[in-house]
Amino acid sequence: DQPAQLPARALPTAAEGPFAAVAIEKSVDRALDYAIPKTLVGSVVVGQRVRVPLGRGNKPNFGYVTAIKPTTDYRDPSKIKPLLGIDDKRVLIPPTLMELACWMSRYYIAPLGLVLECIIPSAVKKRTGVGYITFVQLAKPREEVQAFLEKAKAPKRRAVLARLLQLEPGHSVELLRLAKEAGVKPNTVRKLAGLGWISLKAEVDLPGMTADTLVVPATEVSIALNEDQQKVFDDILPRLSPPAGVDGSTQPSPSAGFSVNLLMGVTGSGKTEVYLQCIERVLAQGRQAIVLVPEIALTPQTARRFVARFGKVAILHSGLSAGTRHKYWQQIATGQAQVIVGARSAIFAPVPNLGMIVVDEEHESSYKQDQLPRYHGRDVAVKRAQLEKVPILLGSATPSLEMYERVRREATAGNAENHHGGTEARRATRNSADHSQRHDLKQIDQSRVAAGAKSSSVELPSVPPCLRGDSSSSNYHLLSLPRRVRGLSLPHVEVIDMKQEMRMRRGVNLFSQRLEYMLTNTVAQGHQAILLLNRRGYSNYVHCPSCQHVVTCKYCDKTMTYHRSTGEHTLSAKIMASAHAGQLHCHYCLAVNTLPTQCPECGKLLSLFGLGTQRVEEEMQRKFPDIKFARVDSDTMRSAKDYEELLGKFGRKEIQVMLGTQMIAKGLDYPNVTLVGVISGDTALALPDFRAAERTFQLITQVAGRAGRGDLPGRVILQTFLPDDPTIQAAIKQDYVGFAERELISRKEVGLPPFARMARIVLRDEEADKVQQTAEELAGELAIAAAGTNVQIKGPMPCAVGRIAGYFRHQIVLQSPAATPLQRVLASVRARGLLNKSERIAVDVNPVSL
Ligand code: ADP
Ligand code: ZN
């Protein structure tokens, strides 16, 4: 049913409608109108992927129908080209996802076609694994077949026809199945078609679609919630019902619909169990749930719990084959998959009847995509929940300050409203215990309000319209799980002042005496430990002690990191360096050089500086030769499978200590881990970013949370050169609220997010002069657009890393106390084609790092 591709330059013209507006999978920042050929009128619908000719050569391109319209705004409709065909009828972007994509395109300054392209997995677009299934139907009247059966001899044909007669009139059966059931070869069936007895119809399908690839028998039943969990669950429950009228059998709830629920729960407080039980409710209503996790590879335990609890779970991870990915997509689109667990792009799962969204570890910066479209999975999730009118549950032990501030403010506003209006039924039924829990949060709110009132000259930013609920703002809810499950206590954190340690023991020691002692002790008792060092490689500086030369990357303004060759575990650092049995890696452009024997400047011997996981590994081997340990970083863990295997060994206690980067800080739940050592609590604090403190707090709290999850109490040894730093102090107490309140006050004072909106524009070019000139021109345009608004244009200035992979980089930062004016400035410059004209201009709205 698809017209053959037309030769270039010979396209018929079509002045008559209807027309299709098509967003092309290219950096074309507007939809283009195409005429719908007569044969396709009625078949072409919004959300379809279509083939269209583009440019002078009429090269076929793919795009998505964004509208069907009777007329076109083109000046000369006779020049409008016809659409070439529908790419795949089964691939259809549902209306809410279409709307979501339009919002993303506007909000993140990304061409709509590119947003839509990233919504559909490439396995689906490439039709990986698609085959044909042939269906068989009787082609002659049943009486005639009956008569044939009574007199004919051919037993095989009779078996086939007899089976077909058992079908209800007009029904068909899959050819392979029919052959099997009749005990004949498929060809025997096909021959009957040649004889006119049956008709065959081939349908495009994914083989195995209907087979039970998804159905894994649920092996786990729900745990009885503890008191804290029950309170949280009871609070959310009314909001989990379908909105009035959606499901006749359920009492429509006044609180149903869109709501944002931020669950602040300390590590090991049983947040996941709350997610599971909420989802159970939603599935019981015949609706589906999407669960976002930061990185599946790093959280296999969490993903597995969903599979163990529910039958039809699609886990979207990077290790899936393209065929399976395609199959999953279809199973999601047909509602066969009920729970979809995946990293950020899982938010685009085309579920037909969404009931709720869960975002685990909502603070994780890996939710942000660093390529076009530069979206934040958590924010897109909130927007989708709003569009689909469903609740979203965001969980974290260390919520992002953006989300914490927004929800707290909105929840306070909502509560105030309800004190006056008091209409919501659930508030009447809420028990008093629930009140006491709310009370804690309210107290914080009030103290905050008081603190804010003092400096009331600072205007509070409004929530962007995209994240605001339809009716009142009371659909924001702050919930908390302040204690660990089963009465377990949070691990005790001990701080080791490394300055003092150095004085005491002369020279740099990677392990303080205390950590050394505790590590030996822990292992001797048969327990396990996790050691964190947030930097891979061996040492992050290669430096000449005589002339101070530091080896930098040839292509980037970055020092190179020394990586020791693998497999040579016995040589000491010095010998390794002089024998140059290792390489220099650039973590930015991934360039690899051999380690120079001598300083390229003065010819003296180079030395290694700064810590990396390899260095700690070497020290471990020297100090604790009997401890079985593994280094876990992206150098040793090349695939999700490596990591799974390693976790398996750790679970079976074949490994006593895991030493690694932030990879091991997340989500791991091993009851036998009683010790967590943070080799250097300061590495993240040193980042040149206003979120450095937030990152440090999150990382320490998260990794500390791995200890003491079983019946044995946990202990954390935190080594730092900055023991008095307030962030380190808050992390020691694992006092999120204390940290957040202090940090929010300082962010507010200097007007940083969440009290400001930011966008960052990075320009790059091989030539330094050219990038500077382009950046200055763009900054000029932005300044004109921002005139008379409260949007500040900062820059252009060279980026923190001024050159990467041979490209010089300049940045312009836009900052405003509120989102709307900033969006307006960007939109006006974008409308003039200045932002999406080249791949060398990258716009990042709400950047997670600067
Ligand atoms: P979080 O996600 O907050 O870190 P989890 O949901 O992973 O916490 O729970 C930590 C551990 O406690 C898990 O092993 C889980 O099975 C267990 N758990 C959760 N809820 C309960 C409960 N109500 N009673 C007993 N154990 C529980
Ligand atoms: Zn480089």
The per-residue pLDDT for range 825-834, each reduced to its tens digit, is 999 999 988 8
Report the mean per-residue pLDDT for the chain.
81
Between strands 541-543 and 131-138, the pairing is: unpaired
Q: Is the pLDDT confidence value at 335 over 70?
A: yes
Closest atom of ligand 1 relative to the 397 alpha carbon? 3
Q: Is the pLDDT confidence value at 457 over 90?
A: no
Q: Is the pLDDT confidence value at 840 over 50?
A: yes
In angstroms, the CA 567 to CA 415 distance is: 61
Helix or strand run (H / E) with residue 331: helix 322-333
Whether 272 lines ligand 1, by a CB cut-off of 6 Å, is yes
By most ligand atoms within 8 Å of CB, the mutation choice from 262, 485, 703 for ligand 1 is 485
Confidence of residue 66 (pLDDT cuts 50, 70, 90): very high
- Poorest-pLDDT segment among 124-138, 416-430, 546-560, 619-633: 416-430
Closest atom of ligand 1 relative to the 266 alpha carbon? 3
In angstroms, the CA 348 to CA 357 distance is: 11
Check the annotation: does 602 bind a ligand: yes
Whether 483 lines ligand 1, by a CB cut-off of 6 Å, is no
Whether 336 lines ligand 1, by a CB cut-off of 6 Å, is no
Whether 45 lines ligand 1, by a CB cut-off of 6 Å, is no
Enter the tokens of residue 665.
């800080």
Whether 485 lines ligand 1, by a CB cut-off of 6 Å, is yes
Could you tell me which residues are beta bridge partners of residue 605? Answer: 598
Indicate which residue's Cα is closest to atom 13 of ligand 1.
270
DSSP reduced 3-state for 39: helix
In order of 238, 246, 274, 430, 503, the CA distances from 253 in angstroms are: 6, 11, 20, 15, 65
By most ligand atoms within 8 Å of CB, the mutation choice from 269, 272, 398 for ligand 1 is 272
Check the annotation: does 102 bind a ligand: no
Sheet containing 173-174, strands listed edge to edge, beginning at the edge strand earlier in sequence: 173-174, 131-138, 198-205
The 3 state secondary structure assigned to 611-657 is CCHHHHHHHHHHHCCCCCEEEECCCCCCCHHHHHHHHHHHHCCCCCE
The answer for residues whose C-beta is within 8 angstroms of residue 182's C-beta and 6 or more apart is 156, 159, 160, 162, 163, 189
What does the pLDDT read at residue 690? 81
Indicate which residue's Cα is closest to atom 23 of ligand 1.
225
Task: Output the pTM of the full model.
Answer: 0.80
> Which of 97-101, 698-702, 751-755 is modeled with the greatest confidence?
97-101
Helix or strand run (H / E) with residue 3: none
Check the annotation: does 466 bind a ligand: no
By most ligand atoms within 8 Å of CB, the mutation choice from 226, 273, 481, 484 for ligand 1 is 273
Q: Which ligand does the CA of 305 lie closest to?
A: 1
Confidence of residue 237 (pLDDT cuts 50, 70, 90): very high
Q: How close is the Cα of 556 to the center of ligand 2, in Å?
A: 4
**CA angle, corner 29, sides to 28 and 33, nearest 5?**
75
Closest atom of ligand 1 relative to the 272 alpha carbon? 6
In angstroms, the CA 603 to CA 437 distance is: 67
Going by C-alpha positions, the residue among 541, 553, 556 that lies closest to residue 800 is: 556
Check the annotation: does 278 bind a ligand: no
Q: Is the pLDDT confidence value at 259 over 70?
A: yes
- Poorest-pLDDT segment among 97-106, 176-185, 414-423: 414-423
Could you tell me which residues are beta bridge partners of residue 657? Answer: 529, 629
What single DSSP character describes residue 23? E
What does the pLDDT read at residue 132? 64
What does the pLDDT read at residue 389? 94
Confidence of residue 540 (pLDDT cuts 50, 70, 90): low
258 contacts 251 by C-beta, under 8 angstroms: no
**For the chain, how many residues are written?**
850
Whether 229 lines ligand 1, by a CB cut-off of 6 Å, is yes
Whether 820 lines ligand 1, by a CB cut-off of 6 Å, is no
Going by C-alpha positions, the residue among 315, 273, 270 that lies closest to residue 296 is: 315
In angstroms, the CA 561 to CA 802 distance is: 18
- Poorest-pLDDT segment among 26-40, 611-625, 727-741: 611-625
Indicate which residue's Cα is closest to atom 20 of ligand 1.
270
What does the pLDDT read at residue 217? 63
**Residue 296: burial class (beta carbons within 10 Å; 0-12, 13-18, 19+):** buried
Q: How close is the Cα of 850 to the center of ligand 1, in Å?
A: 36
Closest atom of ligand 1 relative to the 302 alpha carbon? 7
Q: Which ranges of 93-197 does DSSP label H, i.e. alpha helix?
A: 95-107, 112-119, 122-125, 142-151, 155-165, 175-182, 186-194
Q: Is the pLDDT confidence value at 12 over 60?
A: no
599 contacts 591 by C-beta, under 8 angstroms: no
Whether 267 lines ligand 1, by a CB cut-off of 6 Å, is yes
Q: Which ligand does the CA of 483 lie closest to?
A: 1
Mean pLDDT, residues 91-107 taken together: 94
What does the pLDDT read at residue 427? 36
Confidence of residue 148 (pLDDT cuts 50, 70, 90): confident
Q: Which ligand does the CA of 481 lie closest to?
A: 1
Q: Is the pLDDT confidence value at 574 over 50?
A: no
% of the chain with per-residue pLDDT over 90: 37
The answer for residues whose C-beta is within 8 angstroms of residue 557's C-beta and 6 or more apart is 801, 802, 803, 804
Whether 271 lines ligand 1, by a CB cut-off of 6 Å, is yes
Q: Is the pLDDT confidence value at 578 over 50?
A: no
Mean pLDDT, residues 554-559 taken together: 73
794 contacts 822 by C-beta, under 8 angstroms: no
The answer for residues whose C-beta is within 8 angstroms of residue 660's C-beta and 6 or more apart is 530, 531, 532, 533, 613, 631, 632, 633
What does the pLDDT read at residue 611? 67
Whether 268 lines ligand 1, by a CB cut-off of 6 Å, is yes
Indicate which residue's Cα is closest to atom 12 of ligand 1.
270
Mean pLDDT, residues 428-447 taken together: 37
% of the chain with per-residue pLDDT over 70: 82
Whether 270 lines ligand 1, by a CB cut-off of 6 Å, is yes
In angstroms, the CA 540 to CA 611 distance is: 6
